[in-house]
Every structure is written in C-alpha cells, then in structure tokens.
Amino acid sequence: MGKPTGFKEFARQVPADRDPLLRILDWNEFHEHMPESALKTQGARCMDCGVPFCHTGDMMANMASGCPVNNLIPEWNDLVYQGRWRDALDRLHKTNNFPEFTGRVCPAPCEGSCCLSVIEPAVTIKNIECSIIDHAFEKGWVIPEPPQVRTGRKIAVVGSGPAGLAAAAQLNKAGHWVTVYERDDRVGGLLMYGIPNMKLDKQEVVARRVRIMEQEGITFFTNTSVGKDVPASQLLEDFDAIVLATGSTRPRDLPIPGRNLKGVHYAMDFLRPNTRSLLDSKLSDGNFINAKDKNVVVIGGGDTGNDCLGTSLRHGCKSLVNFEIVEKPSLQRAPNNPWPQWPRVFRVDYGHEEAAAKFGDDPREFCIQTAEFVDDGHGNVKAVKTIEVDWQVMTEGGPPFVPIPGTEKEYPADLVFLALGFLGPEHPVADQLGVKIKEGRGGMSWLDAEHERYTTSNAKVFVAGDCRRGQSLVVWAINEGRGAAREVDRFLMGTTDLP
C-alpha cells in the first residue's frame, strides 16, 4: 500500500501544534492542519505489509494492539496517496462511525503495532484518519443517510457516549427506530463533558455529528435519567430491546487523612462543569471550579490527569504539579514490551508540554505516594504531604513497592484533583432491569455481559462500552456499540447484515 519505496524515502511527519504559550490562552483545538501534499507523502510511507498488524484490534499485555474497530488502514492510506479522498472516506466509514472523534482523541494503538515501527517511526495513521474525515466535511460529502426501509422495531439506548452513539447509528442504519436517553443537558456523554474542548471541539465536531444522526431519524432525549425520570420498567414495555451504554462513572477515591478538606476534588468534578460553563457562557457564569492563581496538584496520570493540567493552565493557575506513583517509563521499549504490543514508553502530551512551557519543567513527579492532605485550620487544603516509593522492593502481602524513609516532602496546594481512574458503572438502571453485576477486587464492578454477544440476564437488555468492559478507550467503546447493535439486530430479526 502507498508507494512501494515510500517508507525508505520519506520521514514521519506530524502536524504542528499551536505554540503552547499561545494556545493556553483559549479553548480551541491545538492541532494545525497539514497540506494535502504532505498527507499524500505520509500515506506513501505505508508499506505493502504481508500481515498489516495495524488493524488487528487484539488485546496484548492488557492493552490494545492494533485498531479495535479494525479500520482498513492500509487501504485508505493508499487512497490518500493516490489523491482519492472520496474513496478513502468510504473505506473509513465502513468500520468507524465517528472517525472525527477517534482521529482526535484515540491514542492510536494502530501506530504502536505498525510494521514499519519495528525499525522506523510508525506511519502517521491517526493524523491521516482525522484528515480524511475533516476533508470530507469540508467538501460536503458527509450528509444524513436515513434508511430507506423501516422495520417497525423500537430500541432504547441509555447513554449517549461513544458506545451509545455507535449502537444507535448502526441500529438506525438497519432500519430500526432508535431513541437515545441522556441524563446530561447535551448529547455526547464522555465525548461532550469528559474530554476538554481543546482536544475535541463540542460545537464543530460533536454536535455536528449528533445533528446528522437526528436528521437520519434518531431521537434524542436529554436531561432524562433512566431509572429516575423514566422508570426502567417503562422502557421494557415501550421498546423491543434496550442497550445500556452508561459508561464507567464511579471514580476511584484516595482515602487518606484530610480527604474531606475543601479543595480536594475528583477530576471529573473539575472537568465536566468547566466544559458545561464554557459552552453555556464562555465561563462567565462562574459555575465551575476555577484554578486561577491557585497552587494545583493533580494526582494520577493518564488522559484525565493530563486534561486537568491543560484545563488548570487555561484558567491561569499559579503552580502545577502532577504525581504519578509509577516509575518513569523508559524512552524505548523494554525487553518485556515487544512489538506489536502497545509501547509503554515515556510520552509528552499536550498538558505536559504546556506546563513545561509556562513553568519551565515537566510537571510530573514519578514514584510519589500521597500521604496526607494538610488542613489550613479552616477546613481548606493548603498542602499535600508525599513520600517517594521504591518499585524494586515489594511489600509482603501488599503493594509492589515500599515507601523510602527520609523522602517525605510537602507541596503547597489550594486545589487537588484526583485522576485515579474509575471503578465501573453506577448500578440503579441495571438493578431495575434485572441485569446481573459482576464484582471485582477493590470495589470494581461491571454489568455482566459476554464480549461479542453483549447479552445479559434479561433477554431484552444488551450492554456495551465501559459499563461492560471497564474504563477504556473511545475506540473500544465504538467497537462495542457496533457489536451490540449487531446482536440486537440479530435478536430482533433472526439474522443480521450489520458487521
């Protein structure tokens, strides 16, 4: 695919980002666009692999290896190289309902398993994907395509995140009548309120796709909490099938001394109201936690921790530090992390780059265990006490590290954000529908449904996304939404043509 010798002739090139010190002054997306000629050159780097691991979508070492929605990556790389953009769009939409989302927020496990990455930097798959769909919208090629025939069957989808939207899109394509229930005031779930605007524009990207889905015949109800505003039993009466795609929304806590002090918040209690206020009033209503002129500590890494960094910087925080309890990753793959596994290497994301530009250093501190939140005497947090840990020594019967005596330190903190991951979905809707819960260690739980079948203990109820598999990637949620739609269609019709 691409130019036969392109991988030898051309170096990897990614689009430039806006200057960190300038982009923290607004909430606009920070990636620039590449010219078409440069994109064609990058498409030319895709090799004619005997086995293109980029679209395998396997799980290896508990991480995705290759594209979970099995994008036909070599094919649309070749089509971009040839300048056949419309054909590239058709290939992209065969496997991915929302490439404008994944092209912006997916960590690109496809690139981690790219065959070229064994010896050279990987093909810029993610950027080419995003460029195909953005080019298509600019050309007016992405238009509503309502089904020509309706089956008369009705499906309720609970939750409008990536899994719910993917299920709704596929079921509507099959001709069923689909109604999506969302408890927030806007459609999108994680896409709308879990990811900041500078990574994924809400009006220009998310709402645009939702409008198309509405024009295709899908009905959306917002500000509607199933199990509270609408009894789950009513859905069983009114619909032929139900898809639960409620996400993984129970945050992991940090129960240490001082946890109840004012100023210590879950990350999503910071990020969600910020985006809502930005959309409602451009932050003029003040209905959000403001980090302006505050000493901010973010505990936990990953995308959520990084988004807390970027958001705090845009508020104008006074200082910023990010604690990670794990060791600092190496710059290259470790021997126990071979290709095509996802490379567990040191990365600098947008928030780290912005913090370094403003304050002079990467904000991350590794091998740090948070020990206590310090009271200012009035019930507010004023500092965080920490201690370094050694991962080379294991605690017998405990965690795989030990605290290092004499490394205690205190960091000033007016705001602390906990970005420690999630324990699973909330249970009320599942309980009302009679769906079994699968319990795990440490308070974790999932709605019990088999992968690839998505069926539950209630024959009319199917489950997809993070509420079934646990906290994961947007692209896995799309994969599961599509899969659940396929099984719902089979359940209703006896057979299915959905992939």
- Using one digit for the tens of pLDDT, what is the confidence trace for 77-95? 999 999 999 999 999 999 9
d(C-alpha 299, C-alpha 323), whole Å: 5
Q: Could you identify the residue written with the tokens 């928030």?
A: 351
Q: What gap in Å lies between CA 488 and CA 79, rounded to an integer?
A: 34
Of 71, 74, 53, nearest to 7 (Cα)?
74
Segment 97-103 shows an average pLDDT of 98
Residue 391 has pLDDT above 90, yes or no: yes
Q: How far is it, in rounded angstroms, from Cα 221 to Cα 481?
A: 19
Q: What is the pLDDT of residue 450?
A: 86
pLDDT of residue 395: 78
Percent of the chain with pLDDT over 70: 100
Q: What is the pLDDT of residues 222-235, one digit of tens each?
A: 999 999 999 999 99
Closest to 318 measured CA to CA, from 338, 284, 301, 293: 293
Of the two residues 256 and 3, the one the predictor is more confident about is 256
Alpha-carbon distances of 18 from 21, 23, 148, 204, 306, rounded to whole Å: 9, 6, 44, 18, 17
Are 243 and 165 in contact by the 8 Å Cβ rule? The answer is: no
CA-CA distance, 302 to 249, in Å (whole number)?
A: 16
CB 267 within 8 A of CB 254: no
Q: Phi/psi zone of residue 286: left (φ > 0), alpha (ψ -120 to 50 degrees), beta?
A: left
Residue 397's pLDDT band (boundaries 50, 70, 90)? confident
Go through the domains of the chain in sequence order and give each one's CATH number: 6-139 (1.10.1060.10), 154-250+423-493 (3.50.50.60), 253-420 (3.50.50.60)
Residue 196 scores a pLDDT above 70? yes
pLDDT average, residue stretch 268-297: 98
Mean per-residue pLDDT for 489-497? 97
Give residue-wise pLDDT tens across range 119-139: 999 999 999 999 999 999 999
Q: Tell me: the pLDDT tens digits for 462-482? A: 999 999 999 999 999 999 999
What integer best gives the mean pLDDT of the chain? 96
What integer is the mean pLDDT of 205-216? 98
Q: Measured in Å, how far apart are the chain's first and last C-alpha atoms?
A: 24
Confidence bin at 1 (pLDDT 50/70/90)? low
> Which has more pLDDT, 55 or 168?
168
Least confidently predicted of 45-49, 111-115, 392-396? 392-396
pLDDT band at 399 (very low <50, low <70, confident <90, very high): confident
Task: Give this prediction's pTM.
Answer: 0.96
pLDDT for 451 equals 83
Mean pLDDT over residues 241-256, rounded?
97
> Is pLDDT of 332 > 80?
yes
Instruction: Report pLDDT for 394.
Output: 81
What Å distances lie between residue 359 and 70, 217, 268, CA to CA?
Answer: 41, 50, 24
Between β-strands 445-447 and 437-439, what pairing exists: parallel, antiparallel or unpaired? antiparallel
Token readout for 287 is 């209905």
